[in-house]
Amino acid sequence: MSIVVVGISHHSSSVAFRERFSFAESEIDEALRQLTDSGLVQESVLLSTCNRVELYVSTDLPATEALHALKQFLIENRKYTESVDDEIYGFTDPLSVQHLFRVASGLDSLVLGETEILGQLKKAYHTAKEMGFTGRQLNKIFQKAFYVSKHIRSNTGIQRGSTSVGSVAVELADKIFDGLKGRRVMVIGAGDTSEKTARSLLSRGASEVAVTNRSHDRAKELADHLNGRAVVFQEWEKEFEDLDIVISSTSAPTYVLDRARVERLVRPRKARPLLLIDIAVPRDIDPEINELENVYVYNIDHLQSIAQDHLSQRQKEISSCESFIKSKSTEILKSLNPVGNTNDGGTVFERDRKEA
């Protein structure tokens, strides 16, 4: 039995491609059920975040057959009819296990060492486990991944600097406005990413953070935690004229801000600049808004340049992390395959993509 991962991420594709493959929480049960019923896998976990969609499975199929079958499953499940080149990648063990450990530790993230991915991975695993889609193989490997992540985060400097997508978004805002002191901010969405973003904004000197969400109770709860102000979702447009920065991170299936709406809302602002940061997948903000005068739109892909700065600062820590990951992946695979059937090389399914 082999451990295989197939997926897409910010490394392999744009946000426009990723949003076509994202899964809502309500879709995960049915997707894993369909995958199990297909007979392709014995165990499975589906991870879907703003930066990646990945299937982790245990399968009896030969490596190449499993990789192509799982790629096809993703394409058909998401009803994607256009051509796919290297956007979808895949690995078999030991590379698949090393990849999981790297993801859990934040080494594969847009922002090196960020912490949100660990919580997202734990949630994906526990969801699959509660639904009955995991067994001995994935249970042991995911538990080892959580151990590896804790060790790396506790014993290296991999988390120094901004450690979340939200933090990087705030760093971008800080650079554009040459400081956030006195800036008025609205956060659309009241999830974990939104909360971290709001806290970062306040720490940089923002004068006020308003929070709006379709669930006003959730918006009020977050606003209370931040000493901010909750705004009824149906009334947030009234705030628009006074805002400097809008950061949106909802799970809405369509644009929260489309061009026609924003074009109407910015007229009373005259020439005052407005920064819109979209950290949602699917995107919350229509990219065509960037064509409007004095309005600047940045989506999650634009955060890559700031993330690269963090990468260079933390490069020295990476080699020790990679060595630890390799040793622990070998250890767990030997415990699952005591007769010595572990593949020494692993199969890589995306051209020119390598895992350390």
76-113: pLDDT as tens digits: 999 999 988 889 999 999 999 999 999 999 999 987 78
Assigned CATH topology for domain 2-160+314-336: Beta Polymerase; domain 2 (3.30.460)
Q: In the prediction, which pLDDT does 346 show?
A: 63
Q: Which residues pair with 297 in a beta bridge?
A: 276
The pTM assigned to this predicted structure is 0.70
Q: In the prediction, which pLDDT does 1 show?
A: 85
Q: What is the rounded radius of gyration, in angstroms, for the C-alpha atoms of the chain? A: 21
Phi, psi angle pair for 305, to nearest 5°: -65, -40
The CA distance from 127 to 45, in Å, is 8
User: What stretches in the chain show pLDDT beneath 70?
Assistant: 160-165, 304-305, 310-311, 339-356
Q: In the prediction, which pLDDT does 349 show?
A: 63
Q: In the prediction, which pLDDT does 355 show?
A: 41
Q: In the prediction, which pLDDT does 309 show?
A: 72
27: left (phi over 0), alpha (psi -120 to 50) or beta: alpha
The CA distance from 266 to 193, in Å, is 26
DSSP 178: T
Q: In the prediction, which pLDDT does 281 show?
A: 87
The CA distance from 121 to 48, in Å, is 9
- Cis before 94? omega within 30: yes
Contacts of 245 (CB under 8 A, 6+ apart): 173, 177, 180, 183, 184, 185, 186, 201, 206, 274, 275, 276, 277
> In degrees, to the nearest 5, what angle opens at C-alpha 309 toward C-alphas 121 and 20?
45
The CA distance from 130 to 142, in Å, is 14
Element (H or E) spanning 297, and its range?
Answer: strand 295-299
Q: Where are the domains of the chain?
A: 2-160+314-336, 165-305
Q: In the prediction, which pLDDT does 348 show?
A: 67
pLDDT digits (tens, 9 = 90+) for 42-58: 999 999 998 999 999 99
Assigned CATH topology for domain 165-305: Rossmann fold (3.40.50)
The yes-or-no answer on residue 321 being catalytic is no
N-term to C-term CA, the chain: 23
Q: What is the 3-state secondary structure (H, E, C) of 190-213?
A: CCHHHHHHHHHHHHCCCCEEEEEE
Choose the catalytic residue: 3, 50, 97, 262. 50
The CA distance from 232 to 214, in Å, is 8
